[in-house]
Amino acid sequence: MIKIVNDGNRMELHSPTALPHASSFLWNSKMMIHMNCRGYAVSQFMQPEPSKYAYAPNLEAKTFMQPEQPYFAHHPGRFFYIKNETTGRFFSAPYEPVREKVEHFVFSAGKSDIQWKIKHEGVDIIMQLSLPKDDVLEQWSFTIKNSCTEEKKLSIYPYFPVGYMSWMNQSGVYDDHLNAIICSSVTPYQKYKEYDKIKTLKDKTFFLASEKPNAWEISQFAFEGEGGLHNPDGIQQNFLSNGNATYETPACIMQYQLQLKPNESKTFQFLFGPAKDEKEIAAIKKRYFDKDGFSHIKNEYDQYIGEGKGCVHIKTPDKNFDNFVNHWLPRQVYYHGETNRLSTDPQTRNYLQDNMGMSYIKPETTRKTFITALSQQKESGAMPDGILIHKEAVLKYINQVPHTDHCVWLPICLKAYLNETNDYGLLNEKIPFENSSKKASVAEHLNLAMHWIYKNRDERGLNYIDQGDWCDPMNMVGPEGKGVSGWLTLATAYALTVWAEICENNNRKNDSIRFHNKAKEVNKAANEHLWDGEWYARGITDNNIPFGIKDDQEGRIFLNPQGWALLSGAADTNKADHLIKIIEEELETPFGVQMLAPAYTKMREDIGRVTQKYPGSAENGSIYNHAAAFYIFGLYKSGYRDKAYVLLRKMIAGPDQEDLVQRGQLPVFIPNYYRGAYKQFPKTAGRSSQLFNTGTAPWMYRCLLEGLLGLIGTKKGLKIDPQLPSHWHGIEVVRQFRGATFNITISRKPKIKVMTILVDGNQLQEPIISNIQKKTYQVEVLLPIDQSKSK
């Protein structure tokens, strides 16, 4: 059903119906398109806020990207009807809207393009979508070949619905000079001051064709007629009616009649996207359709995407795992770092974590991120709820709700960057505060942040939660200013510890001791007030009610406090062993580890919105991969390598057919969640959200590098501490690190008693490769068969 091809560079799906929502996505710095295997698409571009150029058939709400996006017949998509002019029969590619079962179907996700290959009724079709590096538009090519022994007379109809653009003004005309359909609209508004903004928007949608069509239609209603999208009147006619859309829902539809000899093929190229005016469209036509513009720009994009390949390449006993790690994981990390989820005000924690991932791809981006974020820190040390990364940006949606956790991500994410780059110089950069002329070093900024989060605790020593922490919708635990977060308390302890370690590396011994002591103090408070005898509570409400404890009927146990107790060191070995067992019983499923259980089935007014989400979805007890990644990171930190690998592996859909079907997703990205509530709703457990915006990606990469592979950057150099699962006998790794390339083999050997490391044939005395030169190292790591007990 799925197939890895092109040395792992492409993932193929051979059915349009087995995983009907399977998809891939492409992006550049200004846009994103999420393309479903059947032809449906969700696309947006920044101007500067996310905007559409292909709309729903009705007036859609502006909202963040939705999990489990519902598709329906008139959902935006990109389709081609293919009609045999001799028989009158037709079908559509890739699959929608006709849904005819074609003889051969391949949806092929590439890193810098998406393709379909279809064979049906004597024709071979290759459709390809790619993006340019800098422009906002889709590049489509459509090749059709006559695979019969007789000449064929065909009509090809691209059908790119534009949808309901605007109630104020929407229309579409065919521009004969440009070979383009140009749909125009006015972004709806009512207050006259908004005019200054809307008048700058790209309110046109164009469909530019490389060749003149024989006919065209722009009124969606006229095209569809009484036949319906599966059998449109327009296709039943000999020729489309050359009709405009005049305050009617527009669609870009062209008809090409062609005759193909046996084995003859024909390629069409199309561009689809938004524009300000006809002049811009004319310029695009020139740039893309003159000479080799089309393929030149495609190559540029390939190169851009190629730059996101990450710093490690692995070969392990699990080929499917390797494929994801080598190809798709760094791509997803790169996407986050490059686009900040197409937001102008990314949540502070997302901004920091997404860019933590860039430490492994483009660390200069990560560096800038810290400077941008810390320049918006308040002098008190508090961090804002979102980081404004565009001059017109304002805090929107969830960023208008006060959350208390943002500071903890600073040292945690910084550590990853420093590990990878050793750029301790960053700590001395002097940068400003929000609304202040004062400047301070990055180290000072971090000190202030750590003081702020340390101070923001109650008399018991537990961190206030206000209207949320990492868990956005946990909004009613602490609005009165009393409720505390168990997770955040443990995260504070961990952040203080990490910062203390950074201070030590940065030769600030006193700070280091000070922050280590504070961390211990916070851990102590956590153990005193949050441990319920079995696990750590998720928090204590404004009314002093602990929750996420064994006496609760719903939301008894939350994953995050346990995972972070491993990280912070609050849990000693006994507690850690116990927690892992408990989590296995209470939270693990065949699809990964749930964030809480049992999922809430009704509102708990002292916890909040999280309890109102559908049980097993999102933060209410799904397999929320971001939380799972924290836990896995904690497991590796504590040496539970077998458990860690099991859960790491479960983040990736497949390879079993049954698993793929249940998740409904291709393993080309990690979704923000798989449905959980496994015991409550087994029917849907495992189903992917299909949402590729998630803090999981950088953490998974970090788990891989610092956990599984144990190839960890330190002040001195590359520390080697692999944590292979017990059943692996050996792996090969190529690691790029500080300008050097390390070709590493790690293998278990019967005669080895303690880990032995050979670098270019020489045995290391301590497991760190230091004095790294810009060269290629050959590294052999030999492990004992029974390399310490796997916890």
Q: Which residues bind a copy of itself (CB under 8 A)?
A: 17, 56-63, 66-68, 70, 72-75, 99, 164, 167-171, 186, 189-192, 195, 199, 221, 226, 228-230, 246-249, 397-398, 400-401, 467, 475-476, 479, 603, 605, 608-609, 612-614, 616-617, 675, 681, 683-684
Beta carbon of residue 17, minimum distance to a copy of itself (angstroms, whole number): 6
Beta carbon of residue 617, minimum distance to a copy of itself (angstroms, whole number): 5
> What is the SS3 string spanning 12-39?
EECCCCCCCCCEEEEEECCEEEEEECCC
Here the tokens at position 194 are: 């908004």
- Give the nearer residue to a copy of itself in terms of CB position, either 597 or 724: 597
Contact yes or no for 31/52 (Cβ under 8 A)? no
The closest alpha carbon to 381, from 458, 457, 434, belongs to: 434
Here the tokens at position 389 are: 């990364």
Round to whole Å and give the CA distance between 501 and 637: 15
In angstroms, what is the C-alpha Rg of the chain? Answer: 28
* 3-state secondary structure (DSSP) of residue 610: helix
Contact yes or no for 156/215 (Cβ under 8 A)? no
Round to whole Å and give the CA distance between 78 and 39: 5
Here the tokens at position 58 are: 């009705």
Round to whole Å and give the CA distance between 602 and 614: 9
Beta carbon of residue 248, minimum distance to a copy of itself (angstroms, whole number): 8
> What is the SS3 string spanning 82-118?
EEECCCCCEEEECCCCCCCCCCEEEEEEECCCEEEEE
* DSSP-assigned beta bridge partners for residue 13: 2, 107
Q: Which CA distances in Å does 87 have to 224, 231, 264?
A: 21, 15, 19
- Give the nearer residue to a copy of itself in terms of CB position, either 168 or 740: 168
- Give the nearer residue to a copy of itself in terms of CB position, either 39 or 308: 39
Contact yes or no for 124/117 (Cβ under 8 A)? yes
What is the number of other CB atoms lying within 10 angstroms of the CB of residue 388? 17
Beta carbon of residue 459, minimum distance to a copy of itself (angstroms, whole number): 24
Beta carbon of residue 222, minimum distance to a copy of itself (angstroms, whole number): 11
Q: What phi and psi values does residue 768 have, to the nearest 5 degrees? A: -135, 130
Starting at the edge strand that comes first in sequence, how are the strands of the sheet with 463-464 ordered?
Answer: 463-464, 484-485, 539-540, 546-547
Round to whole Å and give the CA distance between 288 and 138: 11
Round to whole Å and give the CA distance between 235 and 224: 9
- Give the nearer residue to a copy of itself in terms of CB position, either 188 or 293: 188
Here the tokens at position 419 are: 């590990």
472 is catalytic: yes
Beta carbon of residue 629, minimum distance to a copy of itself (angstroms, whole number): 23
What angle (nearest 5°) sits at the alpha carbon of residue 483, between those of residues 479 and 487? 115
- Give the nearer residue to a copy of itself in terms of CB position, either 168 or 545: 168
Beta carbon of residue 536, minimum distance to a copy of itself (angstroms, whole number): 25
Contact yes or no for 89/121 (Cβ under 8 A)? yes
Round to whole Å and give the CA distance between 486 and 470: 11
Here the tokens at position 156 are: 């090809």
The closest alpha carbon to 244, from 231, 253, 235, 232, belongs to: 253
Q: Kindly give, in sequence order, each residue whose CB lies less than 8 Å from that of residue 279, ignoring residues fewer than 6 positions away.
A: none
- Give the nearer residue to a copy of itself in terms of CB position, either 316 or 620: 620
Beta carbon of residue 236, minimum distance to a copy of itself (angstroms, whole number): 14
Beta carbon of residue 154, minimum distance to a copy of itself (angstroms, whole number): 24
Beta carbon of residue 401, minimum distance to a copy of itself (angstroms, whole number): 6
- Give the nearer residue to a copy of itself in terms of CB position, either 229 or 462: 229
DSSP string, 618-672: TTTTSEEHHHHHHHHHHHHHTT-HHHHHHHHHHTS--SSHHHHHHHT--TTS--S
Contact yes or no for 35/112 (Cβ under 8 A)? no
Beta carbon of residue 196, minimum distance to a copy of itself (angstroms, whole number): 10
Beta carbon of residue 190, minimum distance to a copy of itself (angstroms, whole number): 6
Q: Which of 472, 511, 552, 606 is catalytic?
A: 472
Round to whole Å and give the CA distance between 593 and 648: 10
Here the tokens at position 98 are: 């006709």
The closest alpha carbon to 261, from 131, 429, 381, 149, belongs to: 149
Alpha helices per DSSP H over 682-754: 696-702
Here the tokens at position 708 are: 């599984």
Supply the residues annotated as catalytic.
472
